Amino acid sequence: MKTQINIACGNSSLHNPPESIDPNSRKRKLIGLPREMMKEELAKAGLPLEQINMRVAQLWNWIYVRGATGFPEMMSLSKTVRSTLNQHFTLTRPEIVNRQISTDGTRKWLLRTQGDGTENSSPGDPFVDFECVFIPEAKRGTLCLSSQVGCTLNCSFCYTGTQRLVRNLTSAEIVGQIMVARDEIGEWPGVPRTTEGPLPDTERMITNIVLMGMGEPLYNFENTQTAMNIAADNAGLNFSKRRITLSTSGVAPKIPLWGAETDSMLAISLHATRDSLRDILVPINKKYPIETLLAACRSYPGLGNARRITFEYVMLKDVNDSDEDAKALVKLLAGIPAKINLIPFNSWPGSGYDCPQSERIEKFAQIINKAGYASPVRAPRGRDIMAACGQLKSESEKSHNRNHKKHESIPESGKEQQQ
């Protein structure tokens, strides 16, 4: 099913839009606000200062533990407080415009969100669209989050890389993906689980978060950091930091900083063992070559056998899948506590690449295993709905291209991402 998408790009602040305003209601969004900012907003709304800490604790519980979608249901708050909150704030999530469930149970949602209505979108065209994926297994469930609409990195094997960057997602839009997923599968207390498709046979169904969807999360550092701090808050969504993994294509200077400020797990989209090939597969390598990238990895805070870096390696037939490539990979990662995820290439229209035969992938894995590295071969999930690794791409690009002539120049804040 094709969905009509409407978006527009503004001519300033493209990559760091304000995330405070719902353009229809002009109400402040509470989802995605850190606690201190929520306190400030409640004070601006006129709530008594001596009540602010208590109200934030109540709201945090209602929003992130109970999954409240509106203020009238918050019966532990007085009618007057609920009325004030409803007047000034909103709990809107991204809207689902398309749902797909794979034959293997993988779910993909095409989400639509309203822009800020000021700098980031035209008044009559405030929508952007992006994708989010949930991968259920027997005893765990992984939610793959997007951090940007589109991408600037142009990795040649990745479908998302063929979509131009529209803008960063706000912290509200990143956290909102978790809220939508929990809504959809029925993971809030007292809400029946969905009976549609298989789900993990566990009390908690979303156990892991991976920032491996659309975009480069380290190019949206502050919003992604805020969102993951909210996800890890033990009085709310309560995800273990060891179950949150950020995947980067190699923004080397920001890797140690991310580890120091979030304490999450790290994955590196490596895919090649020599600069000449990685320059083609992952063009950011021209700016941060392999030696620079691995130096940043070695500086990742807390790195050790209990906290290994995952190196992602997409297997491309006759490109990076030889025995020599496997041996070079082992040599390259020597001394780094690591796990190597081998990812069979997931095809997409016009990719120009093929996936190696399973025997070739297994031989590659054997060489790595023999050297002492765990090298699981990632089972493709959601291929039939284009939800597998490297296949995410919303239809936002069509509308972006329609509006591109109106905004020919790239804001200064976005130029670094295209270098």
pLDDT tens-digit readout, 201-254: 999 999 999 999 999 999 999 999 999 999 999 999 999 999 999 999 999 999
Is the predicted pLDDT of residue 415 greater than 60, yes or no? no
Q: How far apart are CA 6 and CA 95, in angstroms?
A: 13
**Residue ranges per structural domain of the chain:** 32-90, 95-411
pLDDT for 26 equals 74
Q: What is the 3-state secondary structure (H, E, C) of 34-55?
A: CHHHHHHHHHHCCCCHHHHHHH
Cβ 88 vs Cβ 45: under 8 Å: yes
Q: What is the mean pLDDT of residues 40-47?
A: 97
List residues with catalytic annotation. Answer: 131, 389
Q: What is the mean pLDDT of residues 334-349?
A: 90
Q: What is the mean pLDDT of residues 341-359?
A: 88
CA torsion sign for 290, 292, 293, 299 is positive
Give the architecture (CATH level 2) of 95-411.
Alpha-Beta Barrel (3.20)
Specify the range with the lowest mean pLDDT, choosing from 17-26, 63-72, 106-115, 247-256. 17-26
Mean pLDDT of the chain, nearest integer: 85
Residue located via tokens 């000449």 = 276
Is the predicted pLDDT of residue 122 greater than 50, yes or no? no
pLDDT for 10 equals 29
pLDDT for 154 equals 86
Q: Per-residue pLDDT tens for 25-40?
A: 578 999 999 999 999 9
Q: What is the mean pLDDT of residues 106-116?
A: 84
Q: Output the CA angle 364-365-369, nearest 5 degrees.
A: 125
Q: How far apart are CA 115 and CA 228, in angstroms?
A: 21
Cβ burial, residue 183 (10 Å; 0-12/13-18/19+): middle
DSSP code string of 253-277:
GGHHHHHHHH--EEEEE---SSHHH
pLDDT for 240 equals 97
Residue located via tokens 């060891």 = 242
For the record, the structure tokens of 368 come out as 């790595």
Is the predicted pLDDT of residue 417 greater than 90, yes or no? no
Q: What is the mean pLDDT of residues 33-56?
A: 97
Fold annotation for 32-90:
DNA polymerase; domain 1 (1.10.150)
Is the predicted pLDDT of residue 278 greater than 70, yes or no? yes
